[in-house]
């Protein structure tokens, strides 16, 4: 089975505006690009503007915006999400502040403080990208901190017939996933969810190196790790183990992948990527099952679950979470409390 990741409007953590003039729009910054490259056979982006520049020509990168009937399908999703959730780019008291996780993760990725002097900074990041005209007369902007984007990304797999995929999230929008599993079905605050039961399996690959420069996170030398025979075999085996809850075998695979990544880093990555910004994340590929979840006024997620149950004998929605473990990285507390 092909392991597929979806990077939608909420997928990139931030966007680098320092190099926006080069392509006409800012550079998307993925929180854990190496995790995506290592764990997935195919990475599907909603559109090229959400994909780092130097990843766009990779054979395993695809774009939904290039598929037939994209206009009709995306228009329906966007309008449903907008009609249901009208809150724009400001703090919604229904959720914890997404910028707390965003600021800490951004500092780790860029090596810069959250507040910067643009004239001296290597990156000029913001949580949102420029508006992209995905359809005639309809502009959408990527942002890791807007709940509407998370909602749209949840709707994409069903609308485009790619239910067998993991939706990529990040340290900023984890507050929305937390709300989905913590809020009461009758809570007026949540306005999001119905009865739910959540079962979470976590594949932790340990500490992985990531690299970033002005053109993006990719370099051909990363293919040595992606195409390693052990990893190719592991990708086809991981889902099976998680479904069967084979914790010991999963732990063994995670340990082997981490050791392999560190060996290739020392032997290959350091040689070719010495001028790139190296940062480390605790890579977590989380697969979750949500049973009986629905979004009032849309009802789409319930439909997805019913179809999955009929097709596979079990109802499940999956997403991948590649996030920074703030506690383990020991980001200083004062950095996590800087005002937006």
* Gap between the Cα atoms of 269 and 250, Å rounded: 26
Residue 173 is predicted with a pLDDT of 86
pLDDT for 323 equals 37
Indicate the pTM of the whole model: 0.81
Percent of residues, the chain, with pLDDT higher than 90: 36
The domain total for the chain is 1
pLDDT, mean over the chain:
76
pLDDT score of 47: 96
H-run or E-run covering 224: helix 223-226
Cα–Cα nearest to 217, from 299, 266, 281: 281
Would you call 129 exposed, middle or buried from its count of C-beta atoms within 10 A (0-12, 13-18, 19+)? buried
288 φ, ψ (degrees, to nearest 5): -125, 150
Regions of the chain where pLDDT drops below 70? 86-91, 177-206, 243, 282-340
Q: Answer yes or no: are the C-beta atoms of 47 and 74 closer than 8 Å.
A: no
> Is there a contact between 10 and 149 (Cβ–Cβ < 8 Å)?
yes
pLDDT tens for 253-302 read 888 888 999 999 999 999 999 999 998 876 655 544 443 334 333 333 33
Q: Kindly calculate the radius of gyration of the chain based on its CA atoms and give it in whole angstroms.
A: 19
* pLDDT value for 125: 95
Would you state the pLDDT for residue 85?
72
Q: List the domain range (segments joined by +) for residue 245.
A: 4-337
**144-166 burial string, b = 16+ CB within 10 Å, else e?**
bbbbbbbbbbbbbbbbbebbebb
């Amino acid at each position: 089975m092909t392991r597929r990741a979806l990077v939608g409007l909420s997928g990139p953590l931030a966007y680098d505006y320092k190099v926006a003039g080069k392509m006409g729009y800012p550079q998307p910054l993925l929180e854990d690009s190496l995790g995506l490259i290592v764990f997935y056979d195919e990475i599907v982006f909603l559109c090229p503007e959400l994909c780092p520049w130097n990843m766009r020509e990779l054979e395993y990168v695809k774009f939904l915006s290039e598929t037939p009937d994209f206009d009709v399908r995306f228009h329906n999703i966007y309008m449903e999400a907008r009609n249901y959730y009208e809150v724009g780019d400001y703090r919604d008291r229904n959720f914890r502040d997404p910028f707390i996780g965003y600021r800490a993760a951004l500092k780790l990725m860029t090596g810069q403080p959250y507040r910067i002097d643009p004239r001296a900074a290597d990156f000029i990041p913001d949580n949102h990208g420029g508006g992209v005209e995905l359809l005639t007369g309809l502009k959408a902007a990527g942002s890791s901190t807007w709940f509407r984007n998370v909602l749209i990304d949840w709707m994409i797999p069903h609308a485009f017939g790619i239910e067998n995929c993991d939706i990529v999230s990040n340290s900023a929008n984890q507050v929305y996933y937390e709300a989905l599993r913590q809020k009461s079905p009758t809570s007026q605050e949540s306005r999001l969810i119905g009865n739910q039961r959540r079962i979470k399996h976590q594949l932790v690959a340990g500490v992985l190196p990531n690299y970033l420069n002005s053109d993006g996170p990719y370099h051909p030398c990363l293919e040595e790790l992606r195409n390693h025979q052990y990893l190719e075999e592991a990708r086809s085996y991981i889902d099976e183990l998680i479904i069967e809850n084979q914790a010991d075998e999963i732990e063994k695979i995670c340990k082997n992948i981490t050791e392999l990544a560190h060996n290739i880093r020392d032997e290959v990555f350091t040689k070719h990527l010495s001028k790139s910004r190296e940062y480390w994340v605790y890579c977590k590929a989380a697969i979750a099952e949500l049973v009986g979840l629905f979004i009032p006024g849309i009802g789409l997620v319930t439909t997805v679950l019913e179809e999955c149950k009929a097709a596979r004998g079990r109802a499940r929605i999956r997403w991948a979470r590649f996030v920074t473990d703030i506690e383990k990285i020991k980001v200083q507390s004062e950095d996590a409390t800087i005002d937006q």
